[in-house]
Amino acid sequence: MSYAARVLKETIEKNPGQNHFHQALTEILPTLEPYLKEHPECEKDGLLERLVEPERQIIFRIPWVDDSGAVQVNRGYRVQYNSVFGPYKGGIRFHPSVNLDTIKFLGFEQTFKNSLTGLPMGGGKGGSDFDPKGKSDREVMAFCQSLVTELYRHIGADTDVPAGDIGVGAREIGFIYGQYKRITGVFDGTMTGKSPIYGGSLGRKEATGYGLVYFTEQILESLGATFKDKRVVISGAGNVAIYAAEKAIQLGAKVITMSDSNGYILDKAGINLDTVKLIKEQQRGRISEYVKHHSGVEYFDKGIVWQVPCDIALPCATQNELNGEDAKALIGNNCLVVAEGSNMSTTMDAVHLLQKSSTIYAPGKAANAGGVAVSGLEMAQNSSRLFWTAEEVDQKLRVIMKNIYTTVSTTAIKYAEKKDLVAGANIGGFARLCEAMLLQGVI
Ligand code: NDP
Ligand code: 2IT
């Protein structure tokens, strides 16, 4: 049995029931084989065994009082995965489905993603099973303040810098940072995705979606194509989806679908993003309300966007939202590129189908790295007490996404095949992690 196969088997056995974590391990470890063969020092140094085990996992109680006066208790998590490159860095997710398994798979992926950015950030992830949907602003604030009353002792500008993810946007980050500052008495920028008025970076809100489109642009360029006049199918209607749509539209594409967990809209004339922003960012409403604003639009409360014929597919909602049947539909419709805005958007069988087809598949740890990359830029601005213009940040984001594409595509050619951006991203991230971990000794 190879080194990677042995560690995969042992890690799965050691973490029973953590199916998302198993999936991430199964997607990553086997692709590292060619690199591990070339670098026997990795096995000698127990590199993989150390990499799959988080440095620290924190689970805590979050009690808070709802608007009716009742006490509620949620569970909080922070998994500090790997600090070889810098402070742990990764988002916080609020969703009822969150458990230790979710946070571990996200933290593991994040470690590779952050390595690919080349910025000084380790990997981590956090979250809670709290559901912000339908809660008042006061309830969300009470919850966030209680979360930080425990979390503050584990985070800090040089130790662990959280950010947003599903269910955590500017409102939640403001409440979290405010309470962190109050308890610690320090304004040190811990938390990224802050509003630019009190220390956030311009361009962070847009960064994941824009970065996803910049990455996809590189893939299209390799095919001699551009976004112009392409039909783009997007899932989700949150932070990543909205700004992926915005940049794709700016580049001349037509975005024809968006969705939420209730259903999807199909607007063949091209989605009006101002309406989506109004519904989602201001009213916190449902995507179904879009049909009240525009004629000729269809709303489906069943089915999924991937059956809609398109040239480019950008999953931007959640994990495992694109399965084998969806992949078959996309391939059958001659979709050129599937690029992941969400983390682990695609099931394993769908990944295999896409890789065997002529559709190019780009994994999230490369394609959606723009968000955390601009978080890294926010940290740099905070520690130098400077603000960069939106243009400066966007320019840096473009360069980072291009560099990631170059790393991923050249690594794919060297160790697998040109189209295998999965191996390219995994080995690209791993090679840097290995080198740095070997230099820091057995820790
Ligand atoms: P948001 O909370 O802003 O939006 C999430 C969107 O996805 C909503 O439309 C939501 O619909 C939908 N969604 C969430 N969970 C599910 C589910 N279980 N089933 C169906 N639809 C669902 O989150 P983000 O846009 O920030 O995050 C989206 C994805 O992108 C996640 O996978 C996240 O990890 C990833 N990501 C985010 C980054 C960031 O900077 N924010 C960076 C890199 C990756 P509904 O409102 O109905 O729940
Ligand atoms: O998955 C991700 O990369 C994020 N949710 C963003 C993390 C960050 O620290 O900006």
User: How far does residue 168's CA lie from ligand 2's centre (Å)?
Assistant: 11
- 355 C-alpha to ligand 1 centroid (Å): 25
CB-ligand 1 contact for 240 (6 Å cutoff): yes
Q: In the numeric block, which tokens belong to residue 153? A: 């002792």
User: For residues 328 and 254, what is the distance between their CA atoms, to the nearest angstrom?
Assistant: 22
Pocket test for ligand 1, best of 99, 192, 261 (most atoms within 8 A of CB): 261
Indicate whether residue 107 lines ligand 2 (CB < 6 A).
no
Tokens 């995994």 found at = 426
Of the residues 125, 135, 247, 280, which is catalytic? 125
Confidence (pLDDT) at 430: 98
Find out whether 190 and 183 touch, Cβ atoms under 8 Å. Answer: no
Closest Cα to atom 39 of ligand 1: 165
Query: What pLDDT was estimated at residue 205?
Result: 98
Sign of the Cα pseudo-torsion (137, 141, 142, 147, in order)? positive
> Is residue 405 classed exposed, middle or buried when 0-12, 13-18 and 19+ CB atoms within 10 A define those classes?
buried
Structure token pair of residue 382? 């905070």
Q: Name which residue sits closest to atom 9 of ligand 2, judged by CA.
A: 90
- The type of residue at 320 is N
Index of the ligand 2 atom closest to the CA of residue 90: 9
What angle, rounded to 10 degrees, do the helices at 19-28 and 421-439 form? Answer: 90
Contact 136, 67 (CB under 8 A): yes
Between CA 65 and CA 363 the distance in angstroms is 40
Ligand 1 near 165 CB (within 6 A): yes
CA 116 to ligand 2 centroid distance, Å: 13
Q: Looking at the CA of residue 121, tell me the nearest atom of ligand 2.
A: 9
Does the Cβ of 91 fall within 6 Å of ligand 2? yes
Interval between CA 90 and ligand 2 midpoint (Å): 5
pTM beyond 0.95: the answer is: yes
Tokens found for residue 30 = 């086997």
125 part of the active site:
yes
Ligand 1 pocket check for 342: Cβ under 6 Å: yes
Between the CA of 212 and the centroid of ligand 1 the distance, in Å, is: 14
Going by alpha carbons, the residue nearest to atom 33 of ligand 1 is 342
Report long-range pairs for 222-225 (Cβ below 8 Å, ≥24 apart). Answer: 222/409, 223/336, 223/360, 225/336
User: Could you read off the pLDDT tens digit of each residue along the chain, which spans 443 residues?
Assistant: 999 999 999 999 999 999 999 999 999 999 999 999 999 999 999 999 999 999 999 999 999 999 999 999 999 999 999 999 999 999 999 999 999 999 999 999 999 999 999 999 999 999 999 999 999 999 999 999 999 999 999 999 999 999 999 999 999 999 999 999 999 999 999 999 999 999 999 999 999 999 999 999 999 999 999 999 999 999 999 999 999 999 999 999 999 999 999 999 999 999 999 999 999 999 999 999 999 999 999 999 988 999 999 999 999 999 999 999 999 999 999 999 999 999 999 999 999 999 999 999 999 999 999 999 999 999 999 999 999 999 999 999 999 999 999 999 999 999 999 999 999 999 999 999 999 999 999 99
Q: Report yes or no: 385 and 199 within 8 Å, Cβ to Cβ.
A: no
Query: Which residues on neighbouring strands pair with residue 18, listed in sequence order?
Result: none
In the structure encoding, which two tokens stand for residue 84, read together?
């070889």
Nearest ligand 2 atom to the CA of 369 is 3
Nearest CA, atom 2, ligand 1: 166
Specify the DSSP class assigned to residue 154.
Answer: G
Q: What is the pLDDT of residue 302?
A: 85
Question: Which residue type sits at 266?
Answer: L
| CA 377 / ligand 2 centre spacing (Å) | 13
Which tokens is 342 given? 């969400």
